[in-house]
Structure 1
Amino acid sequence: MPYVLVLYYSRFGSVAALAAEIAQGIDQVPGIEARVRTVPSVSPDFDPDATDIPADGPLFCTEDDFALTSAIALGSPGRFGNMAAPLKYFLEQTTGSWVSGRLVGKPATVFTSTTTPHGGQESTLLSMINPLLHHGMLITGVPFTEPGLHETIGGGSPYGVSHIAGESHNALHPELKNLARHQGARLATYALRLMNETKTRQY
């Protein structure tokens, strides 16, 4: 079964919650499934060779998870208007997939959460788009024709779903959950279309 990699880093759970909703949207599309993965934290005593499996929650992403996917949904909290260091560190280890062109022509999307409304959400989303473009991926966001983009009060962006968590790390608003599911389903649908098209035509 082909899969969409939902790859994220989450510190307090908001990005993980978005990832779960996006995965639900992916799983609503017949013929493809979501594969949810995370990355280890980076700290001064970080061991890049550690292979510990998390005690609970999603597994850490492997090179094969990344290279063999049909599409990617990439998520991170905002850090000074940029993606978090753990996710950036992981992406910097994907040179093999870049050199081989494994992800060229595959669709991708991004999502984020910040504490404040002005926490650099759009620049964080753009920072995640940059490496995906270097991999040759086709970026898809959330078009303004999607009604939920006009209804959500807790975030939302045409670059990708975004959540304003607040100091208390508030739960996702129902409108935002629907928007995230739509984003996941849209990504999965495009992945299947491109897979079927590339069977008969190479770009």
Structure 2
Amino acid sequence: MSTPRIVILYYSRGGKTQQLADAIASGVEKTGAEALLRTVPTDTDAACSRDLAIVEDDLNQCDALIIGSPTRFGHMASGLQRFFEQHSSAWLKGVLVDKPGAVFTSSSSMHGGQETTLLSMAVPLLHHGMLLVGLPYTEPGLQQTDAGGSPYGASHVEHAAGARITAIEKQLASALGERVARAAARLK
């Protein structure tokens, strides 16, 4: 059996969502799976490296998809939303059907809309027929966090935690990556 490929697709303007993506990737790699970090280019974001930009083939060849975005008024950033709107061919072909999917976010404040963002990011995954993976309350970090972390997905709260993700936020993000990778390996 080949190694599961887990695409971690994110948009990050200030770097916090990218820090979560990196922690998720480390969790994926702990299982022996391959983590592919990808981002969405936007018209105003010249910082998107060509080798990190998502292409449709990444979706066709992945065994799981984890998406992340900063919270924008309780919703994902427009660049990530645009990506889903422009790649309906993957939806029409069913390339993500029955594959694990998960979500993660970051916000500047504790009540910045993280949970609605996580839930709204899950909607396109459900439309693609994906199997959602979250964080169960058996994860100790969910009981210990005073910043980010949710059963809906990994998260970071800048106001509570500062500029870098906390150790607990990092542990929860890594745990999410591990859970998705293990689910992908079982389904593969």
TM-score by length of 1: 0.86
Map of 1:200 onto structure 2: none
1:18-167 equivalence runs, <5 A: 18-30=20-32, 32-43=33-44, 54=49, 59-166=52-159
Q: Paired residues, what number? A: 186
Distance 1:131 1:193 in 2: 23
| Matched-pair contact (CA < 8 Å) for 2:145–2:169 | yes
Give 1:169 shift.
5.3
Map of 1:201 onto structure 2: none
1:9 corresponds to which of 8, 11, 31 = 11
Provide the alpha-carbon RMSD of the alignment. 2.0
Give 1:168 shift.
9.3
| Matched-pair contact (CA < 8 Å) for 2:11–2:68 | yes
Give 1:67 shift.
2.2
Aligned CA distance change for structure 1 residues 53 and 180 (closer, same or farther; 3 Å): closer
What do the CA deviations read for 1:45-96 (whole angstroms, capped 9, x no partner)?
A: x8xxx9x9727xx610000012221001100001110000010011112211
Distance 2:144 2:43 in 1: 36
Distance 1:78 1:128 in 2: 10
| Matched-pair contact (CA < 8 Å) for 2:40–2:48 | no
**Are 1:182 and 2:175 an aligned pair?**
yes
Distance 1:53 1:158 in 2: 30
| Matched-pair contact (CA < 8 Å) for 1:23–1:36 | yes
Q: Which has the larger radius of gyration?
A: 1
What do the CA deviations read for 1:159-185 (whole angstroms, capped 9, x no partner)?
A: 001110129952111111111111100
Name segments (4+ residues, structure 1) moved above 4 Å.
none
| Matched-pair contact (CA < 8 Å) for 1:154–1:172 | no
Amino acid at match of 2:42: S
Local SS of the residue matching 2:35: strand
| Matched-pair contact (CA < 8 Å) for 1:153–1:173 | no
Give 1:124 shift.
0.3
Aligned CA distance change for structure 1 residues 71 and 151 (closer, same or farther; 3 Å): same
| Matched-pair contact (CA < 8 Å) for 1:10–1:77 | yes
| Matched-pair contact (CA < 8 Å) for 2:39–2:48 | no
Amino acid at match of 1:24: S
Local SS of the residue matching 2:86: coil
More helix by share: 2
Show structure 1 runs of 5+ residues with no match: 196-203
| Matched-pair contact (CA < 8 Å) for 1:8–1:37 | yes
Amino acid at match of 1:128: M
Percent of counterpart pairs with the same letter? 48
Show structure 2 runs of 5+ residues with no match: none
Local SS of the residue matching 1:109: strand
Distance 2:43 2:158 in 1: 22
| Matched-pair contact (CA < 8 Å) for 2:102–2:134 | yes
